[in-house]
Structure 1
Amino acid sequence: MFKIPLIEAFGKDTWVKPFMKKYKSALILALFLGFLTFLSAGGLMFVSGYLISRAASRPENILMIYIPIVFTRGFGISRPVFRYLERLVSHNWVLKMTSKLRLKLYTTLETDGVFFKRHYRMGDILGMLAEDINHIQDLYLRTIFPTVIAWLLYIAIVIALGFYSWWFALVMAFLFFSLVVVLPLWSLIINGARQEKEKQLKSALYSELTDNVLGVSDWIFSQRGDEYVALHEENQARLLELQEKVRRFNNRRDFLVESIFGIIVVALVLWTSQTFIGNHGGDANWIAAFVLSVFPLVDAFNVLPSAAEETNRYKDSIVRLNELPTRPEVEPIKDFTGTTEIEIQNLSFTYPNTTKRVLDNLSLSLPVGHKLAILGRSGSGKSTLASLLRGDLVPSEGTIKIGGIETQRFGDTISEQIGVIQQTPYLFNTTILNNLRLGNQQATIEEAWEVLEKVGLRKLIESLPDGLDTMVDEAGLRFSGGERHRLALARLLLKDTPVILFDEPTVGLDPITEQALIDTFFETLNDKTIIWITHHLQGIEKMDQVIFIEEGQLEMSGSPKELAQTNPRYQQLKTIDEGRL
């Protein structure tokens, strides 16, 4: 049994349908206005045809054609009015729906950022953002809307003709059925398969071109340049041949659509000629009315075949969106007033589509103000633990809580509890003051100067001609690495979060700058809970606890002093880090 791909994809859809249901009132209104637009267009031609015929018969009294004149004016005004209202409502509806889709997509990408970096290329992500959402928008504007309008008109035409002649209504039902069902289905089957093949050929061409361009020097050195060109010419020729078949099919199909409308017009002429037989100026005036009313309907029906064959493209977008990982929505915690004690109990995490545990049965307890250093090799699970702490990832097993609440439940408000300084803090192309106020929009100028004093940048900023109003270059490149870290720290001080997460903040800095920065961190954040992910042991003596994670498990834990005295592995790490080995 033949299945329409788009309908099959919609059956499993959890992205588009919820928003269509949510805004169904606006959708129904837009469809109704679209129906009224074509109804007004047909009514205008219907009344105009009658008026022309009636006026040509030299009526005895102008009042006899006054009512058709009024209807002509009414339909003439209502058509553009309904068209404008339909465009206003429909575009407002579709933009509202797609804006929610973009927000949902962004939230998915943002909350599962680590997953995407591991399993998707940047082009895939940009494709979802730019192409798939636009396809969903076109799904309504180019397929759903015209198809529903055409079906409403189809039903209205058959019912209206049924009042005059049931057998002629059946004839028109058959002819219009070929326009709303047969030709679109034919286009979907023939051109849909060709579009799928075209997509595969394009994908293969892109892959081959990328691989061959990257290795073009090998083709040249092996003196196979002509073979390289011939290979692409052959594949390109196949693609062009397929596209030409699609164009020829579309031309034949469009000719067939116009022919069917021609048959409808001829059938109406013959039927009305027999049905409305009378004197000149009598019932014969209805002949032009019925025949002319068909012409505005051409625009409603001739787009259906091309709309149907586009559904393959929309189907792919819906399938891709529904393949994205989703997390159950939870109400974010607001106005959290609990303590910021962190409890990690039997924590395990495995990335989707993998079997290896990145973290395996990890348990830790961090009281308020605790200073924890996390050591480990690359890939040991340190960054994953940081993502779990921020609530960006959900544990596969076990729990990770702040103040007794699981971190993923905080949502965006986690930034009120945990501040982060990464390897390369980002500064935006705006003033220094605006960059600082990202941490606290309500911060005063005096508070900004206070935090700059604490991080040792006040004199530098005061020496600049514009002071706090100095523009920061994109990414803050006018400042050194240590200065950017200090500005990021000042931003966090204005935010005043109780927990600070350092993700290797001193990588790439010279030893003197690194030590000065570490001293600044711990002097200004003495009362905060600090979680420090690092490879270097410089400044490690300032921590309350040091742990070493290997293969997702806790291999070493203790204070720096204890480990330096009793743990051979820590002693070796310390020796290597200090360059004494």
Structure 2
Amino acid sequence: MTEHPMTTDATADGATDAAGTAAADTGGPAGSRDGSGSPATAAAWPGSPLLPVATPARTRAAVAELLRPQRASAVTAFAVMVASTAVGLLVQPLLGRIVDLAAGRGSVDAVTTTAALLLAVAVAQGVTAGFGLSLISRLGETTLARLRERFVERALGLPLERVERAGAGDLTARVTADVSLIAEAVRNALPELARSLLTIVLTLAALAVLDWRFLLAALLAVPVQAATARWYVARAVPLYAEQRRAAGAQQQQLLDTVAGSSTVRAFRLEKEHTERVAERSRSVVALTMRGVELVLGFYSRLHVAEYIGLAAVLFTGYWLVRRGEASIGTATAAALYFHSLFTPVNAALVLLDDAQSATAGLSRLVGVTDRPPPPERTPPVRPAGVDVTVRGLGHAYRPGHPVLHDVDLTIRRGERVALVGASGAGKTTLARLVAGIQPPTTGTVLVGGVPPAGLGAAATRTVALITQETHVFAGPLADDLRLAGPGATDDELRAALDRVDALAWAEALPDGLATVVGDGGHKLSGAQTQALALARLILADPPLVILDEATAEAGSAGARTLEKAVARAVDGRTALIVAHRLSQAATADRVVVLEAGRVVETGTHDELRAAGGRYAAIWQAWSATRDTTP
């Protein structure tokens, strides 16, 4: 069941054969049930808007905000890493001491003592480094977990119109590829970067302690390294952001092509869609190769810096030893210090690659998490019953391509109204507008005297939208049902299932209501899944129900059973039913016929049949088809 606006089992514009028919009739993209280029598929087309991306400044502020509650952990981790790095820097002077002892023919005991100190330093440095890295990793994982939780919270609260306009691929890429990229950076790049930066700073300090001239010699490499970093960052930031956008667009195109495969085959669009996928893939490959070339240039420049710095330190050591201002051991320690900088400096600069890529992904997550929760605009009190008033309603997904024209409709409290019309007539769009999934282009929709967007927190308890695409959440069947009624008892769950003729098969499952369904669990049939959605509807108990071809996925026998279940589920509620089968229209209180986005007939089933108009023709054609079906 899809309940607006908080639950997202499915969108109302799934890719179906009917969608393709609508596209052919009206010129909209394949996959739009109303033939209007609906947001569900519009993102597959060039220039479609994606979800927001945060600025670098806002991304940094968001990370600082997430880290603020863990300041004590961050300080502890930093202190341990400083101690570990400082202990490790004792290795070079001790090696220099051994060189001096060897050059001066020192005693074996002195060499042995120095070697023992080297061993103790290695052990101490290993223990403290491991502890410090574990603290940093825990800090990073905790922060990432909080970011993921906030992302999911905000993503579930996004307006469905915004998500559909961007395309599911963009949101999917953010919650999968971007999160994976950031997680990899947190687990590997962040600890390594922290250790590398500390090593660089403390090693330069150690060079100054040996002799300030060693430090000056080492710093000759810095201008080349800084220029390399600046050169790289200036190119990497936009490149990786473009790569993430291209990946999102590629994923969206793949989702659209696979989801609409029936329509694609029906209209012989395989070549066109294959070319679209290939074009998106070529764009991703081209950007990836640009990234490879960028990294190669980056490494080449780093090697130049290393050679300049090492040559300068060696020359300084030679000069100081010749002048008698430093021992051979001191010069050796200085050379070893600078050589030991190769790894952390290169690691820190190379980690810019991971950092820029992760930052691009992070800004995409923060762009979603920064969206504030919708404000509470009405008291959270659900009306006991509602009527629906539509006046002068017009809507277009794309400028200049209207789907609905000046629609007027009133649904009285407790009345069941069936929407009938050919594919592309605008039935799904009208249902979506009444459900409040998106605002109309022109005109007004009032639910109980209030625009759907104005219901605020009461919207989830007032309006429920059920489509032909229903999601079964992984877990026990009882938990799946309680999503709609968290406080429901087992007896209430059984009563809801019994009301939609689903109790028998539910209790026949291997573990009854405790049977695990959804991914990795017991697979439910299409009719069982729709019955589950209707049981959720009963538990949610909204006064307004919108059914968008909710029995379309069931076979003929299953559809008849579901239609009876639908009648019981909506009994006593205001209902707007997009009729996939005209048998639903025949039992409705009133039938509204849409044609090319306009209301052309309205009345009871018997009245419209007797009038001999558009509905009578549709009914006659449908009845003839049903009579000839085996």
If the TM-score is normalised by the length of the shorter chain, which range does it land in? Answer: 0.5 to 0.7
Per-residue CA distance 1:391-450 (angstroms, 9 max, x = gap):
433444455444455434667864433334433545566655445444324322332333
Distance 1:256 1:566, change over 3 A: same
Kindly indicate whether the alpha-carbon contact (under 8 Å) linking 2:218 and 2:309 is maintained by their aligned counterparts in 1. no
1:83 aligns to 2:133 (yes or no): yes
Task: Tell me the distance in 1 between the aligned counterparts of 2:309 and 2:493.
Answer: 74
Per-residue CA distance 1:490-539 (angstroms, 9 max, x = gap):
33223322222222133365666545543443245321111101143214
Aligned residue in 1 for 2:347: 303
SS at match of 1:538: helix
Task: Tell me the distance in 2 between the aligned counterparts of 1:137 and 1:43.
Answer: 29
Distance 1:20 1:561, change over 3 A: same
Q: 1:178 is matched by which residue type in structure 2?
A: V
Aligned residue in 2 for 1:19: 62
Name whichever of 188-197 and 253-262 sits farther off: 188-197
Q: 1:331 is matched by which residue type in structure 2?
A: P
Task: Tell me the distance in 2 between the aligned counterparts of 1:473 and 1:163.
Answer: 65
SS at match of 1:506: coil
Task: Tell me the distance in 2 between the aligned counterparts of 1:350 and 1:326.
Answer: 29
Matches within 5 A, 1:181-220: 181-186=226-231
1:455 aligns to 2:500 (yes or no): yes
Query: Alignment partner for residue 330 of structure 1, among 363, 366, 374?
Result: 374
Query: Alignment partner for residue 413 of structure 2, among 368, 392, 398?
Result: 368
Distance 1:253 1:371, change over 3 A: same
1:93 aligns to 2:131 (yes or no): no
Q: 1:97 is matched by which residue type in structure 2?
A: L
SS at match of 2:594: strand
Aligned residue in 2 for 1:418: 463
Matches within 5 A, 1:62-461: 78-101=128-151, 104=154, 108=158, 112-116=162-166, 126-137=172-183, 171-179=217-225, 181-186=226-231, 252-253=300-301, 255-263=303-311, 265-266=313-314, 269=317, 277=325, 293-294=337-338, 296-309=340-353, 313=357, 329-331=373-375, 335-341=380-386, 342-351=388-397, 354-408=399-453, 414-423=459-468, 425-427=470-472, 432-458=477-503
Task: Tell me the distance in 2 between the aligned counterparts of 1:198 and 1:539.
Answer: 49
Over the residues paired in the alignment, what is the CA RMSD in angstroms? 5.7
Q: 2:342 is matched by which residue type in structure 1?
A: V
SS at match of 1:577: helix
1:522 aligns to 2:570 (yes or no): no
Deviation at 1:302, TM superposition (A): 0.8
Name whichever of 146-155 and 479-488 sits farther off: 146-155
Q: 1:493 is matched by which residue type in structure 2?
A: I
Distance 1:151 1:475, change over 3 A: closer
Kindly indicate whether the alpha-carbon contact (under 8 Å) linking 2:417 and 2:576 is maintained by their aligned counterparts in 1. yes
Distance 1:377 1:91, change over 3 A: same
Task: Tell me the distance in 2 between the aligned counterparts of 1:518 and 1:198.
Answer: 48
Task: Tell me the distance in 2 between the aligned counterparts of 1:115 and 1:197.
Answer: 19
Aligned residue in 2 for 1:227: none
Task: Tell me the distance in 2 between the aligned counterparts of 1:25 and 1:272.
Answer: 48
Per-residue CA distance 1:299-354 (angstroms, 9 max, x = gap):
33112443345677568757877999997741357742335423445444433x65
Distance 1:32 1:549, change over 3 A: farther
Per-residue CA distance 1:178-236 (angstroms, 9 max, x = gap):
22x12334556899999999999999x999xxx9xx9xxxxxxxxxxxxxxxxxxxxxx
Aligned residue in 2 for 1:61: none
Distance 1:465 1:326, change over 3 A: closer
Task: Tell me the distance in 1 between the aligned counterparts of 2:330 and 2:351.
Answer: 34
Task: Tell me the distance in 2 between the aligned counterparts of 1:470 and 1:91.
Answer: 33
Kindly indicate whether the alpha-carbon contact (under 8 Å) linking 2:393 and 2:405 is maintained by their aligned counterparts in 1. yes
Per-residue CA distance 1:451-500 (angstroms, 9 max, x = gap):
34433345565677865456668799977655554443233223322222
Distance 1:92 1:460, change over 3 A: closer
Distance 1:75 1:12, change over 3 A: closer
Per-residue CA distance 1:534-572 (angstroms, 9 max, x = gap):
143214243333323344343333444554455722332
Task: Tell me the distance in 2 between the aligned counterparts of 1:135 and 1:15.
Answer: 19
Kindly indicate whether the alpha-carbon contact (under 8 Å) linking 2:396 and 2:404 is maintained by their aligned counterparts in 1. yes
Per-residue CA distance 1:349-407 (angstroms, 9 max, x = gap):
433x6542333444444343122222233233322333334443344445544445543
Task: Tell me the distance in 1 between the aligned counterparts of 2:67 and 2:322.
Answer: 45
Task: Tell me the distance in 2 between the aligned counterparts of 1:325 and 1:376.
Answer: 41
User: What TM-score results when the alignment is normalised by the length of structure 2?
Assistant: 0.63
Task: Tell me the distance in 2 between the aligned counterparts of 1:200 and 1:10.
Answer: 10
1:43 aligns to 2:86 (yes or no): yes
Q: 1:115 is matched by which residue type in structure 2?
A: R
Deviation at 1:160, TM superposition (A): 8.4
Q: 1:537 is matched by which residue type in structure 2?
A: L
Deviation at 1:243, TM superposition (A): 9.8
SS at match of 2:147: helix
Aligned residue in 1 for 2:4: none
Q: How high is the sequence identity, in percent, across the aligned residues?
A: 19
Task: Tell me the distance in 2 between the aligned counterparts of 1:488 and 1:198.
Answer: 39
Task: Tell me the distance in 2 between the aligned counterparts of 1:32 and 1:487.
Answer: 51
Kindly indicate whether the alpha-carbon contact (under 8 Å) linking 1:344 and 1:400 is maintained by their aligned counterparts in 2. yes
Structure 2 unaligned blocks of 5 or more: 1-51, 108-113, 258-263, 265-285
Task: Tell me the distance in 1 between the aligned counterparts of 2:215 and 2:80.
Answer: 23
SS at match of 1:387: helix
Q: 1:378 is matched by which residue type in structure 2?
A: S
Distance 1:285 1:399, change over 3 A: farther
Task: Tell me the distance in 2 between the aligned counterparts of 1:466 and 1:186.
Answer: 63
Distance 1:242 1:477, change over 3 A: closer
Kindly indicate whether the alpha-carbon contact (under 8 Å) linking 1:98 and 1:137 is maintained by their aligned counterparts in 2. no
Aligned residue in 1 for 2:15: none
Deviation at 1:168, TM superposition (A): 6.7
Task: Tell me the distance in 2 between the aligned counterparts of 1:271 and 1:99.
Answer: 60
Task: Tell me the distance in 1 between the aligned counterparts of 2:536 and 2:246.
Answer: 51
Distance 1:431 1:93, change over 3 A: closer
Kindly indicate whether the alpha-carbon contact (under 8 Å) linking 2:154 and 2:368 is maintained by their aligned counterparts in 1. no
Task: Tell me the distance in 1 between the aligned counterparts of 2:363 and 2:620.
Answer: 54
Kindly indicate whether the alpha-carbon contact (under 8 Å) linking 1:38 and 1:300 is maintained by their aligned counterparts in 2. no
